[in-house]
Every structure is written in C-alpha cells, then in structure tokens.
Structure 1
C-alpha cells in the first residue's frame, strides 16, 4: 500500500507515545545525536526517559530558573522541553504580574505564572515573518534574489534599488538597527509610518555588513502584505497559526485574554503605563501592534508546535506549512562570508592564536539563515552548534531547535517586568539551555562510566594519571563538543609533573566517539588531560573512556577531584 503524507501522519498520531518513542526504561537508549527516529511528529506529553532525556538532569532547570527569579532577573518564566515528539518538561515558575511601576512597587495580588501564560514574543515574531515570506516563495510569488523595489517600488530610493529580499532576511541589507525617529513620534497612519521606513537610506552598501535590524523585518512585513493582499496578522492566522491550531498565538490579543498574559514594562514615555496585552515594542505599537519585526503573542505549547513543524521539515499534524526545501533555506547559514575573526581582550584588542585564557572571542555571533539565528552559543549554551537554530526576543523569550537531537526548547520570561533596565537575561537563558543539553545522554561505548570535564568559563581542569611500569603509549576513547577555536582538550606528557609536552589537542566536535592512541616520550611519568575554556560560549564538554597506559588502566589518578567527574551519561 502506498502511504501518503496524510496517511503517514494519521498512522503516527494514532499510535500511543510509547509505541512511537519506544518503551526503553533508560534515556541512554537515545544518546546525543541518535534520537531513534522516526519519532512522534505531533507533540504528546510523556516521561523524560521516553523522550531520551535524563530526568534528574532535566530537573536541574528548576534550580536554575528559581535562582534567576530570586536575584530579580525576571519575575517568572515558563520552560518547555520536547524531544522525539515527547514533552518531557513543561513548567511554570514565579509570577506573570508582580509590579505596578518601574520602582518595583508590588501589586496587592500577584498573578502566578501558569503553563499556558501568554507572552509578548518581541523579536521571536521575526520567525513568523520569515516563514510567511518563504510560503510566498513556495508559491512562486517572490524571488529571494530579486530587488525589494520590484515588489515595493517606494523602497527603491536613497541607494536601495539593488537591495534583495534575501539581504533583508539575513540582515545584510545595509540598514541601521532601528528607525532614526521612533515611529510613534511620526504623525500619520500605519501606512505612512511604514512608508517612512521604506524610504530610509542605508548605512552600508548592501551585502557588505551584518547589522541586525528591525527595519529589515518591518520591510518584509510590508512585502508580505503587498504580495498577499492581507495585513500580516491576517496572513499569519490564515496560513500559519490557523493550520497549526496555535489558538493562543496572535497579534493584538483581545481584552478577554488579559488574565492569561504576562506583563512587560512600565512605559510612561508612551503614556501607556504598565503593559499587559499591548505590544511592548514602541515601533510595533505605532504600527497598530502588527509588524514584521514584533507583535506576536504566544504561549509555550503553541511555540513548541511551531518549532516541531520545523523539525518535521515544514509539516505538523497533517498540515504542510512549508516545503522541506524552504525549511532548509531558513535554517542554513547564509552569512558565512562574515566569519570568526579571532580573539579579543575586554578592550577589543586582537589576540593571536587560540582563545584560551582571560580573553573573549570576537566571533560571528550572527550566523543566520533566512531570519533564523544559528549556533548562538552565548544564548544556546551547550545545545549550540551549526544545526541549532532559533531566535530570542527583547522581552526575555527564546526558542531553539536542534534537528540531530530532534529537540525543541522554549523558554519564555517576563524579564522586562517592570523595566527593561533590569539585569540581562542572557546568562539565565544560556544556563537553562545548557541544562537541557546536559540531559541528552552521552553514552560511552559498551556502557559504563566515563570521565567528564564539566562546564564553565575560564576553566583549566586537569586530570592527571601516574604512569606505572610498562608505559610507552596512552590510549583512550573520546567524545567532545567544544567551542571551535575557543575551548580545547589537551593531552600532555611529563617526566616530572613540571615540564609538559603536548601530544594532542581537540576542539570543535568529534562527531561521535573516537579511539585515540599516542606514543609517550621516553621517561614519561605522568599523563594529563587538560580542559581549557574561554568565556561564555562552551559546548557539551569533553568525555574520556577506557583510558589505558601501556595497554593497562593507569596505576593511579593524581587529582581526580579537579572538576572532572565520572558519570554514565
């Protein structure tokens, strides 16, 4: 019998989660990069083990979130983690509404955060615009490499006649980050304010610089409206959120939903007071709450559906939103000509060589597909990599997906409540995403425990083995995912524990477990494994298994408590 796409979805959704996700009692059945797919394509709630996640490590998220709430980074949050189509964690923390003003005066009755709290997504809205553009591309209505002015003639002024649709999507158009005058200060209608953006000049020649710009996506929103004949909120509802049954996702939520909505900031300069249910972004507000760069409200489950659609190559529950080819374009780096440039100290001076020590990387944080951010280690933490895509929002929102692990992670906070001038949420987001990555097991060949380096910035963790009689070689199996060119695993040998010779170093990804064997210099008495990291961006770490010297386990370990731990996943 020929199985069509629709029949496949019906068969998959008819099966219980255990039949799709497997009945293994241990998450180790689905190690890193091996989620055991085909997986469930429609989200279902299940256990951490059935999702291929280590429950105890996934629960570490609770402590991470409660800590940043306690230090007033944000009043509350909702976190959802789904792997293999199984929602293994979906938890609400703290409060959705806590303050009356920017002085942190508290409301009489705080509103607790719930799992279905609706958030102002801020720039995560750009993903909906990017998907809308690619739907038009699928229909043959837009050429990504055509000048924007072909579709929006008013755009083709002030040196912008050659800017392409693709350059808007990849933030390489040459636009400045924001309109020079906030749109709410410009008199006139929504159309007048959009025209003001379309007629702005460029700061750089097209295609020469990456500059993240809301103006790119305001323009793309106008493009969607022109080519479809629908306002963007109507288009998104008709072609994205409606078919996906994302019933809690919309622009301009009605007053009836206010009890479910998290507050953002107190905004006296727009004469709106404490915002709850009105878009926080002033420029989106000036465009009646509907803009290409901001304006979407959603909850964690709806946003997870959106992410799962991307994992499914454009489909969800029988509805095709995008072609698989369009999805690949969205998630493939289109800005590779803006590469890593080296290292730098806190004052920006270049430092040659590897980025080890008290220096920060000057890197292309802006690897970008068509609207989707790629490999943002400073946010995605140990889950980052060339196949991890997503986006963050100024209000404290984040979604990321990783296809090799079939995982979607949504973290929504109200970090702007009551003011945007509070602590940065970046570190908190990175730690949560690292907690998620840590819950994806790394299983040593044949099972058993392996030495693990741990996580952290500016680490220099050494694991030293004493060489007994009959040395001559050191061998081991290794698995690593580190920040390429920033974090290193180094293998060294010494005759006296003072003078060391490097035998090998590892950075980037091993792409699975690898067997390594090296000859030891004559007189070697010690072998050490040194894990060195720079700031902020750290991968999944370094594992060592079945370490042998001269074909035998080390005579002893000199410092097994130096941050290295033995663990089974």
Structure 2
C-alpha cells in the first residue's frame, strides 16, 4: 500500500466544488422515513453526474433504531455486470476502521485496563518510543491525531508483516508536544491496535471479532484481508473507471484502515452507536464512552468543528447547525464515509469502489438539505470591520503539516483576509478575534503560540492544521523584483530550498539529486530507510531523497544501476519526475499539449503534462501556436523552483 495514495490522493477526494448539487433543499425538512429514504437513494444515483462517476456503491440510512435503507447501486464488478449486494458485497473501509479501533480502546478504558491519560509507554514493555518533547504520549493523543509524531504515514515494507513487527520496525519519533496540534496520524491508530493486543492478550483482529463484531452481529466484517474476503470483495476502480489491484494489508490486521464490511453490518454499528452503545441485550460501550468519542475535543477554535476520538469533521460546511460526528476512509479504489447525527438519532454510511469523483460530498449535501436544512442565520462580522493593519498579523504563507505540498497564502486587506490555496481564492471576514467565516459561512480559525503570535490555521484543507512559516532571508543574487523571486522564496519557506544569506545562483543548472531533494519532501511521506539501490548515491547528501523517490516509483535511474546525482538535470527529465509523482500520487491523467519538438519519446507524457498544466515560469515561450519548452536544455535553479512551485499551486 503506497502511503502517497493515502496522503495526497485521499486529500483530493475531499470536497472540491459544488458539482452534482442536485435538488435543492426544501424550506422545511422532508420527513425521513423508509419510503422517502428509498426515494432519496434512487433519485441521488439517477443523476447524470453521479452516474458518470459511479462504479458501485452501498448506501445505508438508519433512524430511531430502524434501518430505513440498505441498498446497493451500480456494480461490484463492472465487466461482469455484477450488482452491488448490500448484504453480501464487501467493501474496504480504509480509515473508517479507526472508529472500531478507538471503540476497542474505550472498552479497555471502561474495564480499567488502560488509562486514557497515562503515558502509553506503560503498555508497551520492550518497545521504546523516541520522544524529544519531554511530555507523555497518551491514548487520548493517539485517538485525536495529536501525537506529535514526525510522520504518521509510514512506508510499508512491501511484504505484509505482523502487527508487532510492523510497530517495532516503523516507530516514528515524537518531535512536537503531544496534544499541541492536529495532524492526521495513521500510525497512531496502528499503535492503538498493538496496545489493544498487548493489554487484552489477544491478537488485535480476534479482539475486534470477539468484542465488537460478534455482539453486534457483524458476521461479514473482518480486519484480515484473506482469500475468503477477496472472493466477496467489490472490484476497485481508478479515476478512469479502470480496474486496479487489490492491495494487501500491512500490517496484516491494519488497525488504522484494514477493515472490510457490508452495508448490513455497518447498519448494526450505527444503530448501536445511536442507542447508547447497545444492540438488543448486547452492549459494546457505555453512553459516556460514546459521548466522549463524539465530542469535539480537539479544535482550533470552539466554534470550528474539530475531532473526537477517531471522529472528524470533513464536511462541516453541510452540517447546517446540527451536531455531526463523522469519519471518512480513502484507499486506492475504495472510499467511504460514516455520519452520525446523535441528537436526531440518525446515521448514514456510504461506500464506493472507485476513485472517480467524490460522491460523498454531494450525497451528504443533498441529504442534509432535504432532511435537516439550515435554520440558523449567517454569522455576523465584526463591526466596524477590521482594518488591513489590524489583520496583518494573520498574513503570510501557511504549510499543511501532513502534506507540505499543500499551502495557504493569506493576504490582509481592509475588512477581510484573502486566502489562496489549491481550491482557489476565498475571502474570510472576522467574527471573533481568532474566528473567521468565508462567503459560504464555512468557519476558519487561528491558534496563537505562548507569545501571542499566530502559529496555526485551519480552514478548508482537511487532515491537518497549517503552520505559519517565517519570512525567508533573501539571497544576495535574488532581489524582490527578480522574475523568479516568488517561486524561489516560497520554496525556501517550505524548506525545499535551504535558507542562506549567500547566493542562490539562479542561472546555474540544477543537478538530478538536488531536484529530487527539493521535490520529494513536499509529498509528506516518510523517508526511506532502505540502503541505496544505486551505485553512485551512497554518501550523497541526496541519498535518502533519491531512494525514497525510487521506493515510490518517481525515479528509475540510469543503465547499470546508476542515478547520476551530480549530473545536470534536463528539462524533460524534470518534467518526467513531476509527471510520475502527479500520476502515481494524485492519479493524474495524461494531458495533450501543443509542444515544440525536439523531446525524447520517453519524456513525451511528462513534457505534455507540464506544458498542458502550465507548470513553468518565464522560461517557456509560445511560438507558432506551440509552447517552446526547450525540453532537452539543462534546467536552471530558478526554472526548477518555478516548476515545483507551479506544481504545488496546481495540484487539482
């Protein structure tokens, strides 16, 4: 399982636009009952835009202790025209699995076997967590993605391993104070599963089966992805609706995302969660534990939806003033989401078996618009509006803590903040000191450090808060009016280009190793620990970045097991590296573009992608209706900065 698919592609599956908005909500709510739930599901999947995105899906709606809808749509296997069976077809739930892992931890807490506020080192004899913060790491931190780990998206070994082996070999380092900042953390949930295994003295997957699945009657649910499961599994499809491979769990039980289930089984879980933890005579959790899980215990501001124990707030723009606890899951070829409205005793579950589009956002939007429309007034702005000078402290470049390639650039104007990110431009108006709302009433919040300076920002980029970056020092040979200054200094702020008071040498050719070392860390995945596969990269300052790029398929090297880290990089080589990271990591499709030749046949896709997406600065010119990309020229330092920066600005 390539974690780049979970880090970057999963982010891109979150709401991008208002496509497939569907029928508008009524002025007053429609009654949610079995008859109307069936009508809603049928009408939703009949929409042309939805059908164009769909391979297969299962939709479950429960309310007041009853299953109102448990229906399959589309195909579990498109070629065989095998329909989705809501009671039998298995879907991979990816990170929705985290809800069950957290529930297991809460069971152990109820029985007094673990303390949520105690250092987890207590439950890990023989396993040391390298903690540079000086503060304890607790189960609450693990469940709320506030561990402070340097990287929670570890690179699998390629051969599925046991849970114990995986945890011992992949343990990250704590580099931030636990509890200080929200940063999505897969390893934190893997570690919870291992703690469950250690404390209960049962294999994690057996504990889940015995203590959760069996009491709920979830007979078709498992954390083990074996041949028996694969036979009943929906076929996964990519963003072109072409079948893709089934990826094995690593570790084999994968507490952070390895669960498979059916619509029928997920209905049982939602019914129990909405019934104070009880199904029939069987209880999986006490009411207090469920309330703790659903409570927004980590938020950048009290009025900005945050995180509970495994629960999150991805689609908060559609909550319409209601309390919603949700959890999404993303894995190559599979996407899912579970929503609970505890005060309305209502639950929704959707699972999909393709990467095309994001049907979760329009489904939830249309569901809430129909049954729970917005009744509250728009939040008021501060009067008189803040001046540009008063808002200036919020201005700057912010970096996503999980995926550094994702940024928000904030500019202060009179009365508002302008935010530029991968979704476009937005205007935020101030409601309270650290609380703002955009044009669609979506909240944004800031957090200060101990000295009162703006440190973190959270708005429309899920998975993590963003940290404010300090202004960079300027190079002696790159003035503010330099045509590449913005590209260069933004990459300095992001850490891709080392900061220096000396010269940058913008007209000097960049080397192959230097370019990879600038590009790879921005992807946000863990650096490789494998020995160098190339004969000439051992001891190179770029050794780790190059090996990481090789692990993910971004580079292939030169004949004879060489890479040539110190060789000048050609513009077509750079385009190829960028194309591979976009294609492998983002699922990007090839682009046809009018490009002047010459360029090598092997570089055609890369060059056309870069030109077609406009990923260049002043170094490419239009001539006779075609872009003169100068594919076989050496790429200069300044041109490499433009290419990488433009890629970050055009991820979608």
Which structure 2 segments of 5+ residues have no match? 1-27, 382-436, 444-652
- Equivalent residue for 2:166? 193
- Equivalent residue for 1:264? 236
Which structure 1 segments of 5+ residues have no match? 1-30, 33-47, 99-106, 268-272, 280-284, 341-362, 417-421, 443-454, 456-479, 487-531, 539-569
- Equivalent residue for 1:17? none
Higher strand share: 1
Deviation at 1:78, TM superposition (A): 1.2
Listed one character per residue, the Cα deviations across residues 452-508 of structure 1 (whole Å, up to 9, x for unaligned) are: xxx8xxxxxxxxxxxxxxxxxxxxxxxx1367569xxxxxxxxxxxxxxxxxxxxxx
Instruction: Determine the C-alpha separation between the residues in 2 that align with 1:219 and 1:483.
Output: 42
- Equivalent residue for 2:571? none
Pick the aligned partner of 1:156 from 117, 129, 132: 129
Distance 1:132 1:441, change over 3 A: closer
Deviation at 1:315, TM superposition (A): 0.7
Instruction: Determine the C-alpha separation between the residues in 2 that align with 1:274 and 1:170.
Output: 32
User: What root-mean-square deviation, in Å, do the aligned CA atoms of Structure 1 and Structure 2 show?
Assistant: 3.2
Deviation at 1:175, TM superposition (A): 1.9
1:202 aligns with 2:174: yes
Deviation at 1:214, TM superposition (A): 0.3
- Alignment check: 8 A CA contact 1:375 1:388 kept: no
Listed one character per residue, the Cα deviations across residues 26-71 of structure 1 (whole Å, up to 9, x for unaligned) are: xxxxx97xxxxxxxxxxxxxxx96xx44955862443333437756
Deviation at 1:81, TM superposition (A): 1.1
Pick the aligned partner of 1:481 from 376, 379, 383: 376
1:304 aligns with 2:235: no
Pick the aligned partner of 1:67 from 36, 41, 47: 47
For normalisation by structure 2, the TM-score amounts to 0.49
1:89 aligns with 2:69: yes
Instruction: Determine the C-alpha separation between the residues in 2 that align with 1:484 and 1:177.
Output: 37
2:53 is paired with a residue whose SS is coil
Deviation at 1:265, TM superposition (A): 5.0
1:115 aligns with 2:86: yes
- Alignment check: 8 A CA contact 2:221 2:261 kept: yes
Instruction: Determine the C-alpha separation between the residues in 2 that align with 1:72 and 1:217.
Output: 35
- Alignment check: 8 A CA contact 1:193 1:287 kept: yes
Deviation at 1:250, TM superposition (A): 0.8
Distance 1:533 1:179, change over 3 A: closer
Higher helix share: 2
Pick the aligned partner of 1:429 from 360, 372, 375: 360
Instruction: Determine the C-alpha separation between the residues in 2 that align with 1:152 and 1:234.
Output: 19
Distance 1:382 1:332, change over 3 A: closer
- Equivalent residue for 2:250? 286
- Equivalent residue for 1:252? 224
- Alignment check: 8 A CA contact 1:137 1:144 kept: yes
1:242 is paired with a residue whose SS is helix
- Equivalent residue for 1:295? 258
2:211 is paired with a residue whose SS is helix
Instruction: Determine the C-alpha separation between the residues in 1 that align with 2:441 and 2:360.
Output: 12
- Alignment check: 8 A CA contact 1:176 1:215 kept: no
Instruction: Determine the C-alpha separation between the residues in 2 that align with 1:140 and 1:132.
Output: 13
Instruction: Determine the C-alpha separation between the residues in 1 that align with 2:244 and 2:220.
Output: 22
- Alignment check: 8 A CA contact 1:334 1:369 kept: yes
1:303 is paired with a residue whose SS is helix
Listed one character per residue, the Cα deviations across residues 102-126 of structure 1 (whole Å, up to 9, x for unaligned) are: xxxxx3x232222222100000000
- Alignment check: 8 A CA contact 2:339 2:348 kept: yes
Deviation at 1:193, TM superposition (A): 2.0
- Equivalent residue for 1:402? 341
Tell me how many residue pairs correspond in the alignment: 352
- Equivalent residue for 2:198? 226
- Alignment check: 8 A CA contact 1:244 1:316 kept: yes
Deviation at 1:429, TM superposition (A): 1.4
1:339 aligns with 2:339: no
Distance 1:253 1:86, change over 3 A: same
Instruction: Determine the C-alpha separation between the residues in 1 that align with 2:365 and 2:283.
Output: 32
Distance 1:176 1:413, change over 3 A: farther
- Equivalent residue for 2:311? 372
Instruction: Determine the C-alpha separation between the residues in 1 that align with 2:151 and 2:49.
Output: 30
